[in-house]
Amino acid sequence: MRFDPPSVDLNPLQSRRFGIPIGSIHGHTLRIQLAGSFRLFDDPKLMENRGWLTVLLVFGGLFVVLIACSIVLVMVFGDGAGFGSSKIGVIEIQGPITKSKETLEDIRNFENKESVKGIIVRINSPGGAVAPSQEIYQAVQSAKEEKPLVASMGTTAASGGYYIACGSDVIFANPGTVTGSIGVITQLFNIEKLLDDIDIQVNTIKTGEFKDAGSPFKEFTEKQREYFAQLLQDIYDQFVGAVADSRELDESRVEKLADGRVFTGRQAQEKGLVDKLGSLEDAKDYLKEEEGLEDVELTYPPKDDMNFLSGVVQQISDSVAREAKSQSTPLVEYRYAGP
């Protein structure tokens, strides 16, 4: 028995939907499967549209999932970008100050991050080279114009470490922190007699009287001593001026304290060198209250991917380079040389 597929009449809406002219279509264009619960369209254009729709749905879904995952990762691991709690950035200055590049970059990054509402400069350093200490001090001064910034002193924040703290809005110190040591130091050694004993001569060719001043291979004369004293005096005056300006003290008063001696945190507060006694947590609470923040967490600059061995090698390399430099050029420092 032969079965002739029935004709189907399409209204204008159906016609536009399936891309088929208005009127009647016959079984060779549309087959109706009576035994099943679906219709299969043979029109190539319809099948192509269906294929593109499937692709768009799949990739659209993947895109939505990717965006959702990205938002979650930013909230958990990123700087927040406005999500979750507010953040207070912590810049750590640890050990002798020999360079400033990384610290300057960290300060600049926190200064530009919207989610970071304040900055704490955490100092545990006896000081160090003059220029890096001054550069970090200037960066701290600049950053506090954009965001509230306080200094928090750890075990030691002396000489160059104290210089940096002076750039902040408020200085916190623990009662037992060793700080102060406002002054300049350079140490020169002489091995001229040792070279004579082992019969070694060093021949120097120079273009001026003081070109090799402080050389370990020749006598340190009184004239050279006067020359270095003038050099250190100018660097010392810069230190005293920075403390007087930032702490709003008379230079004469600072000079009485700037004889190289150190103070405990409590003594420093009594002398006007420190504002408040407290820990890192106290510094955090201060910024939280000043800015009217409720939910706050501390955030630190990302750590370099350097393993323990690489870190040790880097420290040894820095120490060797520093020692070599000190032998060839007198090293003038804002550094506490005590225990």
| Cα angle: 217, vertex 220, 224; to 5 degrees | 125
User: What's the whole-number mean pLDDT along residues 259-270?
Assistant: 97
Q: What pLDDT, on the 0 to 100 scale, is given for residue 27?
A: 45
- Domain locations in the chain? 40-72, 87-335
pLDDT over threshold 70, residue 24: no
pLDDT over threshold 90, residue 328: no
Range among 46-60, 143-157, 283-297, 306-320 rated most confident: 143-157
pLDDT band at 325 (very low <50, low <70, confident <90, very high): very low
* Architecture (CATH level 2) of domain 87-335: Alpha-Beta Complex (3.90)
pLDDT band at 37 (very low <50, low <70, confident <90, very high): very low
User: What's the whole-number mean pLDDT along residues 289-309?
Assistant: 80
Q: Is 159 a catalytic residue?
A: yes
Are 43 and 20 contacting, i.e. CB atoms less than 8 angstroms apart? yes
pLDDT over threshold 70, residue 60: no
Q: How far apart are the C-alpha atoms of 214 and 234, rounded to whole Å?
A: 18
Over the chain, what is the mean pLDDT?
Answer: 81
Q: Which residue in the list 133, 159, 181, 215 is annotated as catalytic? A: 159
Give me the phi and psi of 168, to 5 degrees please.
-85, 170
Q: How far apart are the C-alpha atoms of 171 and 246, rounded to whole Å?
A: 11
Q: What pLDDT, on the 0 to 100 scale, is given for residue 309?
A: 54
Are 136 and 106 contacting, i.e. CB atoms less than 8 angstroms apart? no
Q: Is 147 a catalytic residue?
A: no
* Residue closest to 83 by CA, chosen among 68, 97, 72: 72
* Residue closest to 288 by CA, chosen among 50, 324, 280, 122: 280
Going by the DSSP 8-state scheme, the letter that residue 13 receives in this structure is H
Q: Which residue in the list 211, 223, 256, 325 is annotated as catalytic? A: 211
Which strand (E) or helix (H) includes residue 120?
strand 116-125
Q: How far apart are the C-alpha atoms of 28 and 17, rounded to whole Å?
A: 19
Question: For 126-180, what is each residue's pLDDT tens digit?
Answer: 999 999 999 999 999 999 999 999 999 999 999 999 999 999 999 999 999 999 9
pLDDT over threshold 50, residue 266: yes
Question: For 197-248, what is each residue's pLDDT tens digit?
Answer: 898 888 889 999 999 998 988 899 999 999 999 999 999 999 999 999 999 9
**Lowest model confidence (mean pLDDT) among 47-56, 107-116, 174-183, 250-259:** 47-56
pLDDT band at 310 (very low <50, low <70, confident <90, very high): low
Task: Give percent of the chain above pLDDT 70.
Answer: 67
The per-type count for the chain, helices as H runs and strands as E runs, is 11, 14
pLDDT over threshold 80, residue 274: yes
User: What's the whole-number mean pLDDT along residues 65-90?
Assistant: 62
pLDDT band at 81 (very low <50, low <70, confident <90, very high): very low
Are 190 and 219 contacting, i.e. CB atoms less than 8 angstroms apart? yes
Counting other chains too, the contacts that 328-331 makes at CB distance below 8 Å and 24 or more residues apart are: 330/186, 330/188, 330/213, 330/214, 330/228, 331/129, 331/186, 331/187
Q: What pLDDT, on the 0 to 100 scale, is given for residue 168?
A: 97
- Classify 133 as helix, strand or coil: helix
* Residue closest to 29 by CA, chosen among 50, 52, 45: 45
